[in-house]
Amino acid sequence: MVRLTHTVKTSGCASKLPVGDLNAILSTIPPMEDEKLLVGFETSDDALCWDLGDGRVMVQSVDFFPPVADEPYDYGRIAAANALSDIYAMGARPAVAMNIMCFCSHMDLEVMRDILLGAQETCRQAGCVIAGGHTIADATIKFGLSVTGFTTRDRLWTNRGARAGDLIVLTKRIGVGVANTMIKAGEADAGFTREVLDGMMELNRSACELASSFEVHAATDITGFSLLGHLYEMAHSSGLTIEIDSSAVPVYPQALEGARFGFIPQGAYSNRDYLEDKVLIDEGIDRALCDLFFDPQTSGPLALAMDPASAEDFVSRFSGVGAVIGRCLPEREKAIVVRA
């Protein structure tokens, strides 16, 4: 069996176009406006939101990328979990999806079948139906989903509602980009590899459903633009500063060691370059830990801005990796401050 990650140069969300380049283009494109469009691309939110006029909101997103796992079934599961995460980040429940597949004409069609079956299994776990899609021949495999979900206007989350005094909660470990670089280089043991793959397959469904019982002021999911990149979007859109406690951020310990040995994906450098003038990092913080803060994640955690009581209650009740990693402050010179 061909190792899928060895057929591509970049894996998962590390393959995203650098955020600075993307914003340079999007800033020149005037947004299309409609009174029913509640959320577009202006604030770099996770999905578009369309008012259905009866109190319900339709939420749509699309995500696809090159292989992030060697086994086709695992790749399909991770790609689906990653695409579904954008819907959960808006406080919505995914309902229906369509496959997006670029496939190499010379590769065994069983590979395609296993990718599709993996995605189908993850969507089944999410209560979401895959009902078609589109496939083209390409030199590099790429796969993902377009997803439609629903919520109500009073339960809709965006990345721009954070308030001074809120705490920031994270719902998974970070370090996936470094971990995947290690795995591809053959420098990750079997146990760590399985842990990382399972983490990427883990749906953000339980975190979303539990958080929906609290008042969430803002939310996003942490993917290719890194922990600091996506929190910057939240801080900038909300007009405040987010202060991060570097010691509170949950990371994969072996990824931290990998960062010390230089297993840094190119996307981390692009994220760091873009955020250089937007982030203040205290001296004395481990350089490898800082690298993980800029590391592109695939199917990463939700980041939730909640009032302190709700945040603490959520963390105490959440069955996964939940941690309060920072707080929201009135706007300062830098949108993100990372404390030692």
> Which residues of the chain are in CATH 3.30.1330.10 domains?
4-155
Q: What is the pLDDT of residues 284-296, one digit of tens each?
A: 999 999 999 999 9
With residue 10 as reference, give the H or E element that holds it.
none
Superfamily of domain 4-155: PurM-like, N-terminal domain (3.30.1330.10)
Q: Which residue in 13, 49, 208, 328 is the catalytic one? A: 13
Distance, in Å, from the CA atom of 119 to the CA atom of 146, rounded to the nearest integer, reads 12
Distance, in Å, from the CA atom of 257 to the CA atom of 255, rounded to the nearest integer, reads 5
Number of H helices, E strands in the chain: 11, 13
With residue 242 as reference, give the H or E element that holds it.
strand 240-245
- The region of weakest confidence among 24-38, 159-173, 191-205, 291-305 is 24-38
**Spatial CB neighbours of 169, under 8 Å, sequence gap ≥ 6:** 211, 302, 303, 304, 306, 311, 314, 315, 322, 323, 324, 325
Match 């083209």 to its residue by tokens: 136
Nearest to 160 by CA among 290, 335, 18, 338: 335
> Which residues of the chain are in CATH 3.90.650.10 domains?
167-339
Provide the CB-side half-sphere exposure for 33 (13 A, CA): 2
Q: What is the pLDDT of residues 227-246, one digit of tens each?
A: 999 999 999 999 999 999 99
| Known catalytic residue at 13 | yes
Quickly state the pLDDT bin for 11 (edges 50, 70, 90). low
Read off the pTM: 0.94
15 pLDDT above the threshold of 80: no
Superfamily of domain 167-339: PurM-like C-terminal domain (3.90.650.10)
Q: What is the pLDDT of residues 186-227, one digit of tens each?
A: 999 999 999 999 999 999 999 999 999 999 999 999 999 999
